[in-house]
Amino acid sequence: MQINKILVVGAGAMGSQIGMVCALAGYQVTIQDVAADMLAAARSQLTDRMDSSVVKGRRSRQDAEAALARLTFTTSLEAGAADVDFVIEAATEKLEVKRSIFAALGRAAPEHAILATNSSTLGSSKVAEETGRPQQVCNMHFFNPALVMKCVEVVRHGKTSPDTVDTTMKLARSLGKSPVLIDREIPGFVANRLMGAIRDEALRLYADGIASVSDIDTAAKTALGHPMGPFELMDLVGLDVSYLIRQATFEETQDPADLPHPALKELYEQGNYGRKTAHGWYRYDQSGTRIQ
């Protein structure tokens, strides 16, 4: 299947960067969000990122401008979906929100279009039936920051067709990513399960008073060679995202061991989501630089 036009639903950190990745690879991209201010912020952040990549010599001014020109922004899901070949949904990690988005996509997107979700926890089987085309639904899960991280998890559910898997894997490769195929839905898929094991241990070490947040992060970087420590990573991804992923996992497994850690819950309930609110495990100034 030939892909020309892609719709990305959701203009948050993930959706906006996924849209940019697709535009850089030459696709026509629409980014849709119900909130016009999110779209404006996404446009301005992506323009800044492209400017800085030009200044660093990563790409030519002409290529950056051409990629930005391939991006369109809209608040209308129906308008955005009207003539697309592929949809990547990157809205909030709430099942009810995703269900209504996929029902609307099923009505508005052309029959041939594949409808993928970037969800890291909710397997696409949870939304597939809403679309009327469950065989064309799968997870296409990117990692934060999507402009940089190479991994994309392609997760099939019981009814995903081989053509859908094949097209999604090919699309990921065409974006310069290294897709991994996950043959069965499992909470957290693969990468988040690996990361979760480290994060949970880090939270335990901190909550038990064994070491400070910054010393645990330092050990992960200097002993294990990780680019970021687990607390820095939670601040990057967003404590709201980490919390909601954990909550969704618990709702699926009903295993109390999967509940969000109380220290994470506390920060979440205070509205301290990490870099995006300038306060999480660490504090940040307006430019996003860590100050504490």
The residues annotated as belonging to the active site are 120, 141, 153, 192
**What backbone torsions phi and psi does residue 5 show, to the nearest 5 degrees?**
-120, 135
Nearer to ligand CAA, 85 or 252 (CB): 252
Nearer to ligand CAA, 4 or 178 (CB): 178
241 binds ligand CAA per the rule CB under 6 A = yes
First to last CA, the chain: 50
> Which of residues 66, 147, 198, 205 is near ligand CAA by CB under 6 A?
147
* Amino acid (1-letter code) at residue 134: P
Number of residues that bind ligand CAA (CB under 6 A): 18
Question: CA-to-CA distance for 142 and 196, rounded, in angstroms?
Answer: 16
Shortest spacing between CB 144 and ligand CAA, in angstroms: 3
Kindly tell me which residue out of 95, 99, 100, 145 binds ligand CAA, with binding defined by CB under 6 A. 145
Instruction: Give the Cβ contact number of residue 100 at 10 Å.
Output: 14
Is 224 a binder of ligand CAA (CB under 6 A)?
A: no
Residue closer to ligand CAA, measured from CB, 113 or 116: 116
Q: Which of 36, 148, 186, 207 binds ligand CAA (CB under 6 A)?
A: 148
User: For residues 35 and 148, which CB has a smaller minimum distance to ligand CAA in the complex?
Assistant: 148
| Choices 68-76, 140-148, 166-174, 256-264 (CB under 6 A): range interacting with ligand CAA | 140-148
Check: CB of residue 189 under 8 Å from CB of residue 153: yes
Q: Which member of 4, 58, 112, 290 binds ligand CAA (CB under 6 A)?
A: 58
Among 162, 209, 225, 227, binds ligand CAA (CB under 6 A): 227
Q: Give me the residues that bind ligand CAA (CB under 6 A), please.
A: 49, 53, 56, 58, 120, 143-145, 147-149, 192, 195, 227-228, 233, 237, 241
